[in-house]
């Protein structure tokens, strides 16, 4: 994994290890995924990079007893084949305590062929079939952590790619360890007060547009830039990133990405003055929702969203975002945004979820309450630790089943391997942001990107066998 990708993932995870901390905490009535009042961290950042933790002792999963003093010599070993995500410091191996029992997590590749090494853990962005550890050993499971979109590794969005793995943790609710809400700390994050409308009206009188676009990853399969370029013909859009840039951020410090990130409190205060944020994901997949959706809602802006086709299942209520695909053209969308911009009463309906009782989506509330991991929460494991314990528990159960079969092979059927399914990375073939493929000029880079995504070569997958 490159340094930039590693930093991004670690920043999203916040605190990396939970060491002998309580696996449970009180959750107030009516609140899910956090305490009643969510306090913004001192620096304004929700997803903070970790500090150096030093020796962490024994890591524990949620609700597990304190570890005993037994030796780890006979415990199943989980080998992180993507060592950049190893969620323990400072050594190469760590005993972990999970719900079903204990395992040893390691990033020492020398244990790969050991009979005790029961699972290999891969990070999807790093995974290359041509560099995979072959031959694949019959007693080992392969576990995939891939919270990113197909843009980072398109092979995993196709059946032969995803079915190389036994266990998955992806953005999809159908994966074995689902991570669809990886960018949402809790409901209190959504309830942060929006700037007053008079303040935003003054912002408009100073010459700012109603719509904000902040994107520096251009020409992605979702074809968002071409859509926004067309939208700009019908309504003013202030674009501050590298893509379609037409304005500068207000200070040199914010303009320098080395000194200000998208979690910078000064930048967030600036972005919160816009009434509408264009929120377009880099790829279209069911349940793939990033900070592009949740951050505008945190700031009190209305997301103008294109991304997960299932996004309605997750938003606070049925009147909290504007879905681009509900409009037949960019022009029709622009007309609707202009209407809301000029009608405060109608606009404020989109922020009703910030009021007491305004979050009415029970599926969202239940999903936040039931997830076993937290976002930047020192009292809950992050999803790296959580997935690690999930794999540990799976391997302990598999060992028990193998022992039971060995003791009574005539009475107990052999354990069939669990195989990941295409629904664990549910992403349709990319389509144009508007119009048809035939409408895209031949010299447009979008033509090449769409062609590449239509013609996938899986020649590196033949050495593998499903198990």
Q: 29-64: per-residue pLDDT in tens?
A: 344 444 445 555 544 444 443 332 223 335 555 554
Q: Report the b/e string of 388-410 with b at 16+ CB within 10 A.
A: bbbbbbbbbebeeeeeeeeeeee
Per-residue confidence (pLDDT) for residue 456, from 0 to 100: 40
Per-residue confidence (pLDDT) for residue 33, from 0 to 100: 44
How far does CA 37 lie from the centroid of its chain? Answer: 23
- According to DSSP, the residues that pair with 131 across neighbouring strands are none
Per-residue confidence (pLDDT) for residue 39, from 0 to 100: 55
- According to DSSP, the residues that pair with 146 across neighbouring strands are 170
Q: Residue 262's closest CA among 440, 118, 48?
A: 48
Look-up of token digits 């305490």 = 35
Kindly give the parts of the chain with pLDDT less than 70.
1-73, 257-261, 430, 432-467
What pLDDT digit, counting tens, does each position of 170-195 carry? 999 999 999 999 999 999 999 999 99
User: Cα separations (Å) of 451 from 251, 432, 437, 457?
Assistant: 40, 11, 10, 12
CA 467 – CA 464 distance, rounded (Å): 9
Tokens, residue 191: 């309830």
Q: Does domain 187-368 have CATH number 3.40.50.300?
A: no
Per-residue confidence (pLDDT) for residue 257, from 0 to 100: 64
CA 267 – CA 319 distance, rounded (Å): 27
């Amino acid at each position: 994994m490159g340094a930039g990708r590693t930093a991004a993932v670690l920043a999203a995870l916040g605190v990396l290890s939970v060491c002998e901390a309580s696996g449970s905490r009180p959750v107030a009535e009516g609140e899910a995924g956090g305490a009643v009042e969510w306090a913004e961290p001192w620096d304004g950042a929700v997803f903070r990079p970790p500090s150096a933790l030093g020796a962490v002792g024994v890591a524990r999963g949620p609700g597990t007893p304190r570890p005993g003093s037994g030796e780890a010599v006979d415990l199943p070993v989980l080998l992180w084949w993507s060592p950049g995500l190893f969620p323990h410091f400072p050594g190469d191996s760590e005993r972990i305590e999970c719900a079903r029992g204990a395992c040893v997590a390691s990033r020492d590749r020398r244990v790969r062929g050991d009979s005790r090494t029961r699972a290999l853990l891969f990070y999807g962005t790093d995974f290359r079939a041509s560099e995979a550890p072959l031959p694949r050993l019959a007693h080992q499971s392969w576990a995939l952590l891939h919270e990113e979109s197909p843009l980072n590794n398109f092979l995993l969005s196709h059946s032969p790619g995803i079915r190389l793995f036994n266990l998955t943790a992806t953005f999809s609710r159908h994966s074995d360890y689902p991570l669809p809400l990886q960018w949402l700390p809790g409901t209190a994050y959504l309830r942060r007060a929006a700037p007053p409308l008079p303040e935003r009206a003054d912002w408009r009188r100073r010459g700012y547009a109603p719509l904000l676009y902040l994107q520096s990853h251009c020409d992605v399969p979702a074809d968002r830039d071409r859509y926004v370029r067309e939208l700009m013909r019908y309504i003013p859009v202030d674009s501050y990133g590298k893509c379609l840039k037409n304005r500068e951020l207000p200070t040199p410090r914010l303009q320098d990405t080395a000194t200000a990130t998208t979690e910078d409190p000064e930048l967030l205060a600036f972005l919160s003055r816009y009434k509408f944020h264009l929120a377009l994901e880099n790829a279209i997949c069911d349940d793939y929702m990033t900070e592009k959706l949740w951050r505008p809602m945190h700031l009190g802006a209305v997301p103008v969203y294109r991304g997960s086709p299932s996004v309605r299942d997750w938003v606070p209520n049925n009147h909290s975002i504007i879905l681009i695909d509900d409009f037949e053209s960019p022009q029709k969308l622009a007309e609707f945004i202009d209407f809301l911009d000029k009608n405060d009463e109608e606009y404020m309906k989109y922020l009703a979820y910030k009021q007491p009782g305004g979050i009415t989506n029970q599926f969202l509330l239940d999903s936040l309450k039931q997830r076993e991991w937290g976002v930047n929460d020192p009292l809950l494991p992050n999803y790296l630790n959580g997935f690690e314990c999930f794999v540990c528990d799976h391997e302990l159960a598999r060992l028990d089943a193998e022992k039971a079969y060995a003791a009574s092979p005539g009475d107990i059927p052999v354990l069939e391997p669990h195989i990941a399914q295409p629904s664990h990375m549910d992403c349709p073939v990319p389509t144009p942001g508007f119009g048809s493929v035939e409408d895209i000029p031949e010299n447009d880079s979008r033509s090449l990107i769409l062609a590449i995504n239509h013609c996938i070569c899986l020649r590196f997958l033949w050495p593998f066998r499903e198990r």
